[in-house]
Amino acid sequence: MTLSLFDVASYLPENRVPASYFEQYAGEDGLSGNAMFNAPAYRHHAAAGETNVDMMCAAIAELTARHGDSVLEGVDLVISHSQLPDLPVVGCGGDVAKRLGIAPPFVLDIHNGGCAALILMLRITEGLFATGAASKALLLNATNAAGNIFTQTRVRSLSQAAIPGDGASAVLVSSDGPTEVVEAATYQHSEYAGDMTASVEPHRRYWEPGDGQLHVGFTESKIAKVLARGNRQVPQAALDVAGRHGMRGPDIGHLVTNQPNRIFLRNWREALELPQERHPDTFDECGNLFAVGVPHTLDTAITEGRIAAGDTVMLAAFAHAGDFSAAALLRFGGRP
């Protein structure tokens, strides 16, 4: 069964936060000059109490506004990923299905895909479609970590705090949509598993009571490793997929990646020998949207008319500290 993308939609919270918000709290953590933390002009923060499910449903509402409520008829697979789960253990998929009033036989909540989650979802969907177990999928990503984790009083002064943003995306996949998923490939780099860590000072496990505030455990050494891995893995994944379809880097119509920082974006397009206009960039408006970065940037590029029917699009991303990467080649057929 052919896997195709029917449409993609995204949502950004109303609260648009300028870099000056973090500048007023900036402290010296020894990382302020690092290229990883060159802050975007803006990012969006979820409102107080705005959950991943709320944002996912807002992204889905963009789909139904374009195509009508009937576009969700027949959805038999929901896959969701949350960068910061609102509840321990429980994922978002079941709650979204409840709000939509649908009862798909498959509801999967994944976590290990990280910033490459959409492409992992496409691989999973491809497998279920091939068996005939499912034929229409709703793929959901959300993060509200920026407004919850990175505005804490002891975290907002850190260099890392100004980088993340909040948002959500919804991708509808079927067997007869206008955009063909030519190939989706995933790469597990288990030797790096566990290298992304959380930090609380004074030390405690995140569920234990205490005064410390959770944030990402960055050091100069860890940053150097992440930069080296990300610089290598994203172009490698994209070129692997492209090569299997007779393409070199410059033959790719558009490259859509996760959006962690400016240095990665520059290095990735240079590695594939692509001009800047063929590598859509939402970083300066949204910051690092984690798993939402790929679908939101794709949605933005389509909406702005930068991607035309017949163009090839390469989605590529890496996750966490480099333990996972993925790429998918699309042949864009237009927005229905």
Residues 44 and 190 in one domain: no
Q: For residues 92 and 109, what is the distance between their CA atoms, to the nearest angstrom?
A: 7
- What average pLDDT does range 9-22 have in this prediction? 98
Q: Please give the residue that has the higher pLDDT: either 273 or 201.
A: 273
Mean pLDDT of all residues belonging to the chain: 96
Residues 58 and 104 in one domain: yes
Longest dimension (CA), the chain: 56
Domain span at residue 216? 182-331
Same domain, 197 and 114: no
| Distance in angstroms (rounded) separating the CA atoms of residues 295 and 328 | 12
Distance linking the first and last C-alpha atoms of the chain? 20
Radius of gyration for the alpha carbons in the chain, expressed in angstroms and rounded: 19
Domain limit, last residue, from 159, 177, 195: 177
- Determine the pLDDT at residue 169: 98
The predicted-structure confidence for 200-234, as pLDDT tens digits, reads as follows: 988 998 889 998 999 999 888 999 999 999 999 99
Among 177, 204, 229, give the residue marking a domain's end.
Answer: 177
Among 176, 322, 179, CA closest to 254? 179
Tell me, yes or no, whether 217 lies in a domain: yes
Give the pLDDT confidence of 36-52 residue by residue, as tens digits. 899 999 999 999 999 99
- Same structural domain for residues 146 and 222? no
What digits encode the pLDDT tens for the residues 107-164? 999 989 999 999 999 999 999 999 999 999 999 999 999 999 999 999 999 999 999 9
User: pLDDT-derived band of residue 86, with 50, 70 and 90 as boundaries?
Assistant: very high
- The tens digit of pLDDT for each residue in 251-260 reads 999 999 999 9
**Residue 28 above 90 pLDDT?**
no
**Do 135 and 204 have their domain in common?**
no
Does a structural domain hold residue 141?
yes
User: pLDDT tens across 161-187, in order?
Assistant: 999 999 999 999 999 999 999 999 999
Query: Within 13 A of 46's CA, how many CA atoms are on the CB side?
Result: 28
Give the model's pLDDT for residue 36.
Answer: 87
Residues 33 and 116 in one domain: yes
The strand ranges marked E within the chain are 4-11, 15-18, 42-45, 77-82, 106-109, 136-143, 167-174, 179-188, 198-199, 215-216, 254-257, 312-319, 324-331
Torsion, CA 220, CA 34, CA 114, CA 71, rounded to 10:
170
pLDDT number for residue 88? 86
- Considering 177, 203, 226, which residue would you say is the last residue of a domain? 177
Residues 6+ apart with CB under 8 A from 70: none
Rounded Cα distance, 206 and 252, in Å: 43
CB 172 within 8 A of CB 137: yes
Position 1 scores a pLDDT of: 65
Q: Which two tokens stand for residue 192?
A: 């790096």
Same domain, 48 and 102: yes
CATH number, domain containing residue 157: 3.40.47.10
Which residues 6+ apart lie within 8 Å of 267 measured at CB? 231
Token pair belonging to 276:
């800047």
Across the range 54-66, mean pLDDT stands at 98
Total of domains in the chain:
2
What confidence tens digit (pLDDT) does each residue in 297-311 have? 999 999 999 999 999
CA 299 from chain centre, in angstroms, equals 12
Same domain, 144 and 218: no
* Cross-strand pairs, 137: 77, 173
**Residues 53 and 102 grouped into a single domain:** yes
Confidence of residue 30 (pLDDT cuts 50, 70, 90): confident
What gap in Å lies between CA 67 and CA 70, rounded to an integer?
A: 8
Asked if residue 239 and residue 155 are part of one domain, the reply reads no
Task: Report the distance separating Cα 135 and Cα 316, nearest Å.
Answer: 24
